[in-house]
Structure 1
Amino acid sequence: MRILVAESEPPAAREKRRDSVGRSSGETFLKRLGDLAPDASCDRVKPADRGSRVPDAVGLEGYDAVFLTGSPLHLYEDTPETRREVDFMRAVFQSGTPAFGSCAGLQVAVVAAGGTVRAMQERREAGFARRIARQPAGEGHLLLDGRPPVFDAPAIHTDEVDALPEGARLLASNSVTRVQAAEIRHGNGIFWGVQYHPEISLREVAAALRRQSEDLIEHGLARDEQDVERHAALVEELHRQPDRRDLAWRLGLNEQVTDATARMTELRNFLTHLVLPTRSARGRA
């Protein structure tokens, strides 16, 4: 199996993330895919970077799956970085290669297929998206196979999908963010995506909270940096000791977040239920 990870982070954000957790968003995906598909051959490209070499639609046909990472890019802004990201995703759709994206990865696919993205204004999902529930189109959808009817997931974002493109299916929502999971069919391709982050660990959640502490304070989710640090320290300790029921209780979390296997449900489902059948249909060994 050949997998391509498209890192949506621009260079400065990539290095900032590496400084906090030792990995860029693309490197996190590579680590998770190494666990889920150890025999796969994985490549990484950086579509947002100026001068970066990325495959065109024909080149993308040689892959069995494409993964798009999260990013601080704002897809409603017309910048060279966002244009490069959207152009890459349009080539993915043209190639017919199945694709998955989380957070900004979902937003890139939405814009590439004709939908829109907007800022969340005063609302925030910081740390975890709570009480995500299936919508009618999500009942029985294989992206959510194994998830309970309502669940939490790691999430940090300040932007959201405004309008899904024509023909897309809304799979899951919560009270903060309407589009938490979606399927998009566009051109020759199919995309499954989520606004939350099934790929990140609780240690990475804690680091993201610390990186965004100023924003959390500005929007009234924390009183000061010490407040953010106390909360992040609890999340990080739960990463180290996932069986600590007292910590899970204090954070209001259950095994859907604390158990790594459950946390990666959507990644596993994408590979099992979309990539492998598509690969067989293409006649690949």
Structure 2
Amino acid sequence: MTSRGLRFLIAESEPPKAREERRDSVGRSSGDTYLDILAHLAPGAACDRIRPADADSDLQSGGTISDYDAVFLTGSPLALYDETSEVRRAVAFMRATFTSGTPAFGSCAGLQLATVAAGGTVRPNRSGPEAGFARRITATDAGRTHPMLAGRPAAYDAPSIHTDEVVTLPTDAVLLASNRATVVQAAEIRHENGVFWGVQYHPEIGLDEVGGALRRQASSLVESGLARTCAAVEEQAVLIDAFHREPQRRDLAWRLGLDDQVSDSEKRQIEIRNFINALLTHGRSLRP
């Protein structure tokens, strides 16, 4: 089956300031990153973008969420437990996505947004930021047979940087993967008419974006005790940048403690590819 003819909606929840800081840092916003990855994984699919946290956010086509085959929710610095207008707008958008029956995939804040919209809870990470890479993510019994994680080994690492975590999953949600730092690393959420597959980590980003994220959050990483100085954060970011340019270098893989689950982009992006394949094979329900 082919992705040609599919219509995807990218929901970029970064507030304007965060979008520009990310573009200044790595040359693209979270929405730009998803546009790039979907062009690669689903050639021929049409992609639109919406910024649900913004006050003036509307679908450019004048259509509805139901007009799309899937919604992709990006990462964002929004704290979903804060009662701000940006958070209320983003949550309302996700609730409308569930109501529409349009399947959705999300990473990092995308998982948190779907959780809150469906009745679950989010809080600051109890153990501090999970920064750079999530280590030894392990599938649950349900996750070992779930199609989103098909092709992942028993334990794997993934790009990750987040300061919040899911505390309570909604009713009719299934926990798919965990690690020692963050209990909810992957989940499926079914709510009202819709289904959401999501991960706390970032299968969509390149290693250059990991380095950029560390640089943007250097001060908070020092405050949390993950680094002694901002210079130490920069040293780590330089190593990651070098690994991005030369992912075949065994010395950098050894120094960073990473394998091909991170260095190989095809393996790193597997959850998004599995979601698209499920959509092509099974339609909006994502069920066989």
Question: For the superposition of Structure 1 and Structure 2, which TM-score range results when normalised by the shorter chain?
Answer: over 0.9
SS at match of 1:39: coil
**For residues 277 and 121 of structure 1, do their structure 2 counterparts lie closer, same or farther at Cα, with a shift above 3 Å needed?**
same
1:125 to 126, 130, 135: 130
Query: What corresponds to 2:153 in structure 1?
Result: 148
Give the TM-score, by structure 1 length: 0.96
Residue 181 of structure 2 corresponds to: 176
Q: 1:135 corresponds to which residue?
A: 140
User: 1:226 maps to which residue?
Assistant: 231
Between Structure 1 and Structure 2, how many residues are aligned?
280
Structure-1 separation of matches of 2:80 and 2:45 = 30
What's the CA shift for 1:279? 5.4
Instruction: Determine helix, strand or coil for the equivalent of 1:61.
Output: helix
C-alpha contact (below 8 Å) 1:174/1:180 kept by paired residues: yes
Aligned partner of 2:217 among 202, 212, 237: 212
**Fraction of identical pairs, as percent:** 62
Determine whether 1:36 maps to 2:65: no
Could you list the runs of 5+ residues in structure 2 that have no partner in the other structure?
Answer: 1-5
Residues 1:280 and 1:86: Cα distance change in structure 2 (over 3 Å): closer
Correspondence 1:164 to 2:169: yes
Code of the residue aligned with 1:39 in structure 2: it is G
Deviation at 1:276, TM superposition (A): 4.2
Q: CA deviation at 1:8?
A: 0.9
Q: Compare 87-96 and 58-67 and name the one that shifted more.
A: 58-67
Q: Does 1:21 align with 2:30?
A: no
Q: Which residue of 2 aligns with 1:91?
A: 96
* Structure 2 CA distance for aligned equivalents of residues 276 and 85 of structure 1: 29
- Alignment correspondent of 2:120: 115
Q: Deviations for 1:23-77, whole angstroms, at most 9, x for unmatched residues?
A: 0000100000010011000000100001211489x81111011000000000011
What do the CA deviations read for 1:77-132 (whole angstroms, capped 9, x no partner)? 11100000000001100111110000000000000000000011442210000000
Q: 2: CA distance between counterparts of 1:100 and 1:260?
A: 18
1:122–1:219 contact (8 Å) kept in structure 2:
no
Q: Is the 8 A contact 2:103 2:285 kept in 1?
A: no
* Structure 2 residue 49 is the aligned partner of structure 1 residue 75: no
